Amino acid sequence: MKIEPIIIDSVIHRDMLQEFCNECKDIGYENNSSFHKMKLEWIKKEGEYFCMVEQGKIIAVAGCHRMPEMGEHAWRILFRGCELPGKSPHKGLSKGDWNSLTQRYFIPRFIEWCPSVNLYITTHEGIRNHRTMSYIARQGILDYEGDMNYFNKTQSIWKLNIDEYTKRRNKLRNYYNVG
């Protein structure tokens, strides 16, 4: 598995991404069902979109963009973060959502790529991911910043505690490959 920026001018990437979107549409992942719904071109202008490729197929995506609502140097990460079911080699329960490809592999890429330490994740109340973020916040990896109307939806804002995230992720090296 490798993570790389999505190159929208690349026929190979566009074809792989179209296949990913088709699979997302088939399983009801509406926000990732088309380039338009992923806001692909907007993100490529405002930030970056990364994909995880395995055996010539995109199996996960996530983007990042500036988030001036949270400050001059703030960035939103895991935008439209999505992974196809059954693609993670990590099975079982995990305290920090470490079995999620986007949590385990994409966040370090965003820490590296974004020109800031002010990184935020947004969730919608009522979805599984929102409950997961609440649990991760209790571990000190995220700080709940509050709710706000963001892109015409009430969203919860979580600030990534980079030091705590990195410390806990590094502990995983004692148990298995974290990439």
Condensed to tens digits (0 to 9), the pLDDT of residues 110-151 reads 999 999 999 999 998 766 677 788 888 888 999 999 999 988
Q: Which DSSP symbol is given to 17?
A: H
Closest CA to 123 of 92, 146, 100, 104: 146
What's the one-letter identity of residue 74?
A
Q: What values do phi and psi take at 92, rounded to 5?
A: 90, -170
Mean pLDDT of all residues in the chain? 88
Over residues 11-25, the mean pLDDT reads 96
For residues 80 and 38, is the Cβ–Cβ distance under 8 A?
Answer: yes
Decide: 39 and 65 in contact? Cβ < 8 Å: no
The fold of 2-174 is: Aminopeptidase (3.40.630)
Percent of the chain with pLDDT over 90: 66
pLDDT at position 128? 66
Kindly report, residue by residue over 62-104, the tens digit of the pLDDT: 999 999 999 999 999 999 999 998 776 555 545 555 567 888 8
